[in-house]
Structure 1
Amino acid sequence: MNTNLIKRPKINRACDNCRRKKIRCDGPQTHPEECSNCSISSSASCTYVNPAQQNVASSYVKHLEAKLEEYERLLSEVYPDFKTDYNSSDNIIHRKRKYTPPSSSTGTMSAHINPISPIDYEDVEIADRLGYIFVSNEDRVSNDDQRRYFGRSSARGLIERINIYNGTTPQDILSSKRKIYWRDDWSDEILPHLTKPEYIHEDFGDESLMYELVDLYFTKVNVSMPLLHRERFLADIPKRKLERGFGSVLIMVCALGSQHMRADDLRVLIPGKENILFLAGYRYYGIAKAKMIDPTMSIASLEDIQAFFLLQVYSQNGVYPKGGWIAHTNAMMLSQDIGLHRKSFHGINNERQREARRRTIWCLFIIDVTNAAAFGKTQVLTERDIDMDLPSADRYGDIHSKNRLSVSYLVSLVQLYKLLSQILRSVYRLKENVNGDDIVMNISDIAALNSSLNKWLNELPVDLRIESCSNGDEEVYQLRSYLKIGFYMVQIYIYKSFLPDPRSFELSYFRITSLVICSNASKSIISIQKKLVLDRENINGTCYSDLLLSWSVFNATIVLILSFCESRKNKDINLDDLEYIQLGIEILRKREARVLLCGRALDMLLQVIRTASLPLDPAFMQAQEEHVEKHQRSGNLNEQGDILFMNLTQFERQGTDFLDDVNLDSILPSLSTGEDWSDVLNAMFNGNK
């Protein structure tokens, strides 16, 4: 027997050099000679000194992970703000898959590179490394709320490949930073007067009033847009009141709560202007504007984004409705900057923190799609760009039935507005695609959208149906009403582009059908709003509603005016429309005290009614005229605005060639008069500007 073979140690692992470089090693076949990789490297020595890595049974790992998750859950119940400093099992699937080039017997490595899987591109660690290029403060980058998101088209994949080739670490890459290029505090030194002041206790006023406003916010605003968790928010107020992010949220909560105070409570109104309710909370709004982060120079935290969201909500009903879109756009851009829309980006172990992110991004989506629909703008972030799960009350452990119903309402509204987003991309899209080819739309496409809408209504949870008993809870009844109004508004958006052309005297079955559907939906909206606004006292106002729901009465009244004008043109006057038009005016009149846009919409509708010579009840119209004279149209339309409306609101047009309904795109958009009708809405949102 050969004694040399007996003494030769058995090697069944890669050499130390190959293990360090994470490349394939043929050492077990060549030992005691050098492996192929070490033989072609003049600086490497082929050794087997370091101990082999011990493998751990997968069952043992799973057992430890299960125990750890249970400990985290128990600890989070005692201390909700608990954070771990390690990557939990939730992030295991996001670890890198290392590139291992094969070795040949000749020592030459193949040029073939294994394809990178989608998981590689979701690597959080690589995004962090790339983030250091844009943010020099390492403490800020380590904050879960302030890690910038870099998508698949960024340089993440390239940086990862270099790292794999060279075995470098983030510390290696950042080891030779030149300070002048990595500073981000130039404004503090060069323009110190622009530094945002910190919050102080006096900003929030009397503490008892502050908590009263917080309670009103959760009762009237958060119930229909459950952005915040009440118990956690209240617990954080004493210890986090003066933090910039939390303080901005708190002060906007106070501003929104002010909009729902009793009309005779002067504490939140502007001195000398106590009769103007839509200015309620303006003091808090002004402080927030001065002390919120600068979105052009800061990485936002989750609370910064929530504060911008609440700023938009306040602006919608307050004195600056034109600023709401800009505030919303800032919030959307900041949310994308930190990857709030991507489920895979946040390595956060606390389930409640993940739920807070879900609620924030879906609340932003609701505002985004309703603003896009109301203003005719492009969505900033569609549902196709969001891969976050829908909110759930279970993740906060909510047992209160009203809280659970509120979250269920939010989920149903998101599902409805996903359909609205699809409608905006189809019915209201450009007629040509990026290649210049025509996109044909036919009646079957409209039928499919209508079918999806009816499916949503049929699948609505029983406890959210307006027919369900409200048990005397006013807020619950309003939530159910809002969903039904949303259904009818989306139905109007499906068909309103196909209403009859006032320039044509030829009849079209599809156009007439569209008018009937829109008219019936408008009457339903006004009937529901009558029960909400006119038939109830609502001393604190109605619950918050997004722009599509809030503006529903205005849209419904306009549709019914069009319906009456069409019936009058065809010598078939429908007096039923006039009754609902009058109701629409009364609803707007009731809401204008708290909602500035309702006052402007009312001024505009009254001018439309005068111009169109609608035969409304003379006593009713006289009362409206007296009301207008009493207020002297203060804060609404100026003399130039009156002339603008009189010139533009002309409904009788001469006929033109009629277009049939074979190709629905032939009647999109429905009108082209050669006049810029945007000026009407521009004046409505800009006031006297």
Structure 2
Amino acid sequence: MAPEKRSQSKMLVLSIDSATKELKTGSFRASKACDFCRLKKKKCDGQQPCSLCQAFGNKHCVYQDRRSPRQVRRKTQESPLPRRVLQDLPDRDVAIQLIHKTWDNVCVLFRFLYRPSVIEDLISLYDAKDTTHFTERQLKSLPLIYSVIAVGALFGKEDCEKSDVVARDLYREAGYKYFEMAKSLIDVTNVRDIYSIQTMFMLTMFLQCSANLNTCYSYIGIALRAAIIEGLHKRTSSVGPTVIEDETKKRLFWSVYKVDLYMSCILGLPRALAEAAVNQELPCDVDDEKITRDGILEQEWGKISSCGMNNQHTKLMLIMARIHESLYPVLTWDQATYINILTLEEQLEKWFQELPYQLKPDSSFFNDDERAYYLKPAKLLYLDYLLAKIILYKPFIHYLAITSPLFDFQISMANKCIQVAHKVICLSDEMLKNDLLSASYWFSIHTIFFSVTCLMFYQHQINLGLISEKHIDVEKDCELGINILLKLKNSSPVGEKSFSVLNSIFKEFNKKTMELYSQVNESVTQLMKDPTSGASVEMSVEFFGQSEQDQILDQLLQDFDIPISNILPDFQMTSFFPTSLSERAAEK
């Protein structure tokens, strides 16, 4: 009887459809099985480690070499790293499409490299015929290429139908595979050159897009410190040898720095580098094609380059960081605080007014090409602008149900927070309908999530009868916001985790909530009647030391504490609300 042929396991892969030139999923059979799968007589997917080894927690996924001694000797003379890397890279056309996926989704407002150089590095890898003599540049570019296509794979799955679970899983698995490959090719304890800093930045973006914020914060810290060691935060670092390298350094530093600022604001943690310590120039507002080894050509009149858009975003992130540094985690109620808040509000308004018309949220475009070029960055810029305003106003949200004229300023700030949250929901709904909102883009998900929580807090006070007058249909906004999160929920780990947290926030408020607000109102009324208090309506714009009513109001926040530990087990969320006075006393 003829011997039975050993079946080879199928492995899903990405490829290009020759007719449509779009990415598609396919399969091929693994050439050999690992020792563990061979022992278990199971199909092996040929990965390192393979899926079965990962499932069983086998840390030693080994593919025993069963070739002749002569074949083995020949192999030992070759470089194992480049051979392994080139075998794991997708087809060239697939890699290029995934790179553009990253640029068109994650890097709209984070222009951290000179793109022609990346494509040049990619092609050099595929054209390499002798892997034993890789150049230093090729070896350094390997982890960067892997990190960029890893992020592209995460966003590639959004092109698949939601019902096509297999294809979506393929993209996700491919993303994690490329991420692990990039991470294995870089020493995170010795990040000392532009390529490795770029790789760390891209790994950070992958972690954000996969909702792994714990490691993300660590990685962006490594990238920023490496940039500081290389002096990229100083203008003197841009000294050649070519203009391309100078502009790349500027782009890289500002991208790394503003992500660190963003993460610090959201997580309520100190920034790693003070703004005063930075004197690096912003990158030139020119297209990549205008930057040559000999110099910079003149930009087309009236056109804003991708770097120009990024510069606007950088300026906004700097204002956001100033807001966070000034107002969090506690507020000191005095005249200086009042002036500072108004100054920060003016800075935001000035930034918005000075935006080029193409980047205004309601801009009308001359043609479809201009619309396609400017629309998405304009909407993303506006979304982050609204987030900065929420960060400015949300420390006052617990004044929503107070009616005393003594707190007119605080009440107005609280109402502005709700108005901005309403704008976020409307904008998000518009972006979702126009396919401008990605479920894997964590920056957008976060803004929507906190806007919904603000609106639901407001709606709860209405339900309790503490607020009678409504300026907007809050209930409708809440429903719309939740529906947006629901649509994004199953599209990415970020959307799913955000929705899970939101679901766990709003337990029924007990009678204590009503009693506390009653105590606040009674305290305020008594303060107004007491002639010795010195209180008057004219004091509504003046700040005085936090008193008993402020302590009571702060206690209410404990019932509305965002359980951010569901997403970040190692962090305590301190930036959404200021800590209570009792907690501050305990800390002292």
* Shorter-chain TM band: 0.5 to 0.7
Describe the shift of the 1:220–1:264 C-alpha distance in structure 2 as closer, same or farther (beyond 3 A): closer
Could you tell me which amino acid in structure 2 is paired with residue 583 of structure 1? L
- For 1:572, which of 434, 444, 468 is the aligned residue? 468
Deviations 1:3-51 (A, max 9, x none): xxxxxxxxxxxxxxxxxxxxxxxxxxxxxxxxxxxxxxxxxxxxxxxxx
Shift of 1:321: 3.0
- Contact residue 496 and residue 518 of structure 1 kept, 8 A: yes
Describe the shift of the 1:579–1:545 C-alpha distance in structure 2 as closer, same or farther (beyond 3 A): same
Distance 1:672 1:363 in 2: 38
Shift of 1:466: 1.7
Distance 1:391 1:590 in 2: 37
- For 1:203, which of 88, 92, 96 is the aligned residue? 88
For 1:477-516, list aligned pairs within 5 A: 477-501=375-399, 508-516=407-415
Q: Does 1:599 align with 2:496?
A: yes
Describe the shift of the 1:543–1:364 C-alpha distance in structure 2 as closer, same or farther (beyond 3 A): farther
Aligned to 2:323: 423
Q: Does 1:663 align with 2:523?
A: no
- For 1:450, which of 334, 345, 356 is the aligned residue? 345
Distance 2:499 2:300 in 1: 39
Shift of 1:516: 1.4
- Contact residue 315 and residue 323 of structure 1 kept, 8 A: yes
Aligned to 1:142: none
Q: Does 1:287 align with 2:181?
A: yes
- Contact residue 396 and residue 413 of structure 2 kept, 8 A: yes
Greater displacement, 474-483 / 486-495: 474-483
- Contact residue 197 and residue 291 of structure 1 kept, 8 A: no
Q: Secondary structure at the match of 2:156?
A: coil
Q: What is the number of equivalent residue pairs in this alignment?
A: 443
Distance 1:213 1:277 in 2: 10
Q: Does 1:683 align with 2:579?
A: no
- For 1:555, which of 421, 441, 450 is the aligned residue? 450
Aligned to 1:626: none
- For 1:227, which of 112, 118, 122 is the aligned residue? 112
- For 2:481, which of 571, 584, 589 is the aligned residue? 584
Distance 2:441 2:258 in 1: 11
Shift of 1:497: 0.7
Deviations 1:194-253 (A, max 9, x none): xx9666202312222112212222222333321122222212223367734311111111
- Contact residue 440 and residue 494 of structure 2 kept, 8 A: no
- Contact residue 250 and residue 281 of structure 2 kept, 8 A: yes
Aligned to 1:407: 307
Deviations 1:367-413 (A, max 9, x none): 11111111111111233222111011338416589994321211111
Q: Secondary structure at the match of 1:685?
A: coil
- Contact residue 112 and residue 252 of structure 2 kept, 8 A: yes
Between the aligned residues of both structures, percent identity stands at 16
Distance 2:233 2:402 in 1: 47
- Contact residue 244 and residue 291 of structure 1 kept, 8 A: no
For 1:277-316, list aligned pairs within 5 A: 281-295=175-189, 298-316=190-208
Describe the shift of the 1:443–1:670 C-alpha distance in structure 2 as closer, same or farther (beyond 3 A): farther
- For 1:351, which of 243, 268, 276 is the aligned residue? 243
Q: Secondary structure at the match of 1:341?
A: coil
For 1:179-328, list aligned pairs within 5 A: 200-239=85-124, 243-263=138-158, 274-275=168-169, 281-295=175-189, 298-318=190-210, 320-328=212-220
Aligned to 2:357: 462
Deviations 1:398-432 (A, max 9, x none): 65899943212111111111111211221116679
Q: Which has the larger radius of gyration?
A: 1
Shift of 1:669: 12
- Contact residue 498 and residue 514 of structure 1 kept, 8 A: yes
For 1:1-12, list aligned pairs within 5 A: none
Could you tell me which amino acid in structure 2 is paired with residue 591 of structure 1? L
Aligned to 2:28: none
Distance 2:87 2:346 in 1: 55
Could you tell me which amino acid in structure 2 is paired with residue 288 of structure 1? A
Shift of 1:281: 0.9
**Structure 1: 4+ residue segments shifted above 6 A:** 400-403, 502-505, 676-679
Distance 1:299 1:523 in 2: 43
Could you tell me which amino acid in structure 2 is paired with residue 356 of structure 1? T
Q: Which runs of 5+ in 1 are unaligned?
A: 1-195, 433-437, 614-646
Distance 1:673 1:277 in 2: 44
- Contact residue 207 and residue 213 of structure 2 kept, 8 A: yes
Distance 2:551 2:323 in 1: 14
Shift of 1:612: 4.3
Distance 2:553 2:231 in 1: 39
Could you tell me which amino acid in structure 1 is paired with residue 85 of structure 2? I
Deviations 1:318-353 (A, max 9, x none): 152322111111111111121111112454231110
- Contact residue 209 and residue 440 of structure 2 kept, 8 A: no
Distance 1:536 1:679 in 2: 30
Q: Does 1:367 align with 2:259?
A: yes
Distance 1:651 1:385 in 2: 45
- Contact residue 191 and residue 197 of structure 2 kept, 8 A: no
- Contact residue 264 and residue 271 of structure 2 kept, 8 A: yes
Q: Does 1:337 align with 2:337?
A: no
Distance 1:215 1:676 in 2: 45
Distance 2:394 2:87 in 1: 50
- Contact residue 500 and residue 515 of structure 1 kept, 8 A: yes
Describe the shift of the 1:274–1:234 C-alpha distance in structure 2 as closer, same or farther (beyond 3 A): closer
- Taking structure 2 as the reference length, the TM-score comes to 0.67
Deviations 1:550-592 (A, max 9, x none): 4111111111112222334425164710111111111112222
Could you tell me which amino acid in structure 2 is paired with residue 410 of structure 1? N
Could you tell me which amino acid in structure 1 is paired with residue 489 of structure 2? E
Describe the shift of the 1:406–1:345 C-alpha distance in structure 2 as closer, same or farther (beyond 3 A): closer
Question: Aligned-pair RMSD on alpha carbons?
Answer: 3.6
Deviations 1:586-642 (A, max 9, x none): 111222234322212212223335x248xxxxxxxxxxxxxxxxxxxxxxxxxxxxx
- Contact residue 221 and residue 543 of structure 1 kept, 8 A: no
Aligned to 1:654: 516
Distance 1:319 1:431 in 2: 30
Shift of 1:530: 0.6
- Taking structure 1 as the reference length, the TM-score comes to 0.58
Distance 1:669 1:425 in 2: 25
Deviations 1:89-117 (A, max 9, x none): xxxxxxxxxxxxxxxxxxxxxxxxxxxxx
Could you tell me which amino acid in structure 1 is paired with residue 516 of structure 2? Q
Deviations 1:468-488 (A, max 9, x none): 234434462121111212222
Q: Does 1:517 align with 2:416?
A: yes
Describe the shift of the 1:518–1:314 C-alpha distance in structure 2 as closer, same or farther (beyond 3 A): same
Distance 2:364 2:315 in 1: 23
Could you tell me which amino acid in structure 1 is paired with residue 112 of structure 2? L
